[in-house]
Amino acid sequence: MGFFFTLFAFVFALGVLIIVHELGHFCVARFYGIYIERFSIGFGKIIWRKVDHYGTEFVVAMIPLGGYVKMLDKEIIPTEKNKNAAHSFNNKTVMERFAVVSAGPLANFLLAVFAYWLVYMIGIPSVRPIISDIQLNSIAAQASISAGMEIKSIDDMETPDWNTVRIALISKIGKKKINVKVLPIGYVDPVKKIINLKNWHFDPEKEDPVLSLGIMPVSARQEPIVRNIESGSAAELSGLKIGDKIIKVNEQVLDAWHPLVYFIQKSPNIPLLLTIEREGENKALTLIPQVKEITKKQKVGFAGFELSVVPLLNDYKIIQKYNFFEALYHAITHTWQFMKITVNMIGKFFTGDIKLTNLSGPISIAKGAGFSAASGLVYYIMFIALISINLGIINLCPLPVLDGGHLLFLIIEKIKGEPVSKGVQDLSYRIGTALLILLMGISLFNDFSRL
C-alpha cells in the first residue's frame, strides 16, 4: 500500500504540474488567436479524447510523464489547405510567440503562489528556530552563538522556522561567510553574528545543514529510558528491561550530540557496553545490534526497543497563519525567495560547489511526494509548490528542447530581424536533447544508487 500511495501522490502532483504548465501555453495561444490542434496530458496510447467547438482535440494519454500543446504551424501545412495560415504559431509576431512560450513557466510560478497562499490561509504548523545546544568548538561556537538564541534571519532572509533555516543554509553552499541575526534570551532586538564557512564541509545527501554547523535545534527528544522491547530483539537478548535508564555507551555519556540511536545505528553486529540504572543501582550490559539494511550499500544497527519521548513545549510551537492579503504577500515573497534559491543552486552545479551526485530524479521526487502526502495536506501542497517552482526554472534554462531554448531563439530573431536558420535550430535541438538525456541518466543513476 505504501508503494501505491507514493505512486498515486507522485502521479497526481505530476498531473497538476503538467496541466498548469500546458494550460499557460494554451490560454495565451488562444488569446492571440493561434489555432491549437491538440492539448495532451501524457504520452503514448490515448485513453481519453474530446474535441471542442474550436476543433482542438483534448487528450489524456497512458504515460503521465509529460504533456504538450500542439499549435498550427504554417510551414507544415500543404498549400491547398493553408486556410488557417493566419492562425498559425509561426505567423505571429516575435513578442506574441515570446508570450506564448513564457506562459508555461509563468503558470508554474503562479501555481506556487496560489499553493503557498492556500497553506498560509490554512496555517503551517512549525517550530521556532530556537537553539537547544551548541557543539563545542563548532563553526557556530566560533561565531559566539549559544544555546537559547533564536535565529531570526540569514543574510536578510527571515527564518520563522527550522525548515526555512535549513533551506537558507543549503543555498549558502560555496559561500565564505553568512550574516545571521539571532535573538538572545532576554533581548528585545536581534544581534548580528558572522559565521565563517571556510571550513564548512557539508554533504546535502547525508547531513542536516543545521547540525553540520554545530547547532542542535529544539525538538521533541528521547529520554534514554526503555519503555518497550520487541520480543526476540537484540535489546531483549542483552537483558534490558522496561524502565531501565541507559546512562553510558562504551563509557561515553549520552547527550544531545551522542544519543543512543547514534551508537546503535553505526554498530551493526558490534558489541556495545551499556551502563544502565535499574532500581537505583548501576549495571553493565552488552548489547549487540542486529543488522538492518537501508539500501544495498547502507546497513545500520537495530536494537528493537523504544525510548520514552519528552514532547516539545508549546512555547516552541507556532502556526504560520494569516488573513487573505497577508497570506498572499507571504506567498509571493516565499515563491520569489525559492525562485532565487533555485537559480542559485543551479549555478552551483557549474561552479562545482554542488556535485552531480546530488542531482535527484523522478524516483526521489516520487518518494518526496509520498512522504509529504503522508505528512498531511499542507505539506503535500507545499511540495507541489516547490516542485512547480523548480519545473518553471528548469524550463527557462536555454536548452533548445525546453521553453528557455525557444525563448533564446526568439530573442535572437528579434535582434537579427529574421529567424535562426533551420540548420542551426536542428543542430541545437540534437545537442539539447543529448544533454537532457545525459542529465536524466545521471539523475536516474543517482536515484537507483540511493535505493
Which residues are tagged catalytic?
22
DSSP H or E run through 179: strand 177-183
**Cβ neighbours for 397, distance < 8 A, ≥ 6 positions apart:** 346, 404, 405
**β pairing state of 177-183 and 150-154:** antiparallel
Q: Which grid cell is 437?
A: 538525456
Euclidean distance between CA atoms 380 and 359, whole angstroms: 21
Of the chain, the end-to-end C-alpha distance in Å amounts to 18
Give backbone dihedrals phi and psi of 65, rounded to 5 degrees, phi first: -115, 35
**In this structure, how many other beta carbons lie within 10 angstroms of the beta carbon of residue 103?**
23
H or E segment to which residue 224 belongs = strand 221-229
Give bridge partners of residue 287 from the DSSP assignment. Answer: 272
Return d(Cα 412, Cα 72) in angstroms, integer. 22
What is residue 297's DSSP assignment?
Answer: S
Exposure on the CB side of residue 26, measured as CA atoms within 13 A = 19
CA dihedral (329, 129, 180, 378) positive or negative: negative
Q: CA-to-CA distance for 99 and 389, rounded, in angstroms?
A: 19
Write out the three cell numbers for 51.
Answer: 474535441
> How far is residue 11's CA from residue 26's CA, in Å, rounded to a whole number?
22
Q: Which ranges of 293-421 would DSSP assign to H, the alpha helix?
A: 324-351, 362-375, 377-395, 403-416
Q: Which residues contact 325 (CB under 8 A, 6 or more apart)?
A: none
| H or E element that contains 277 | strand 272-278
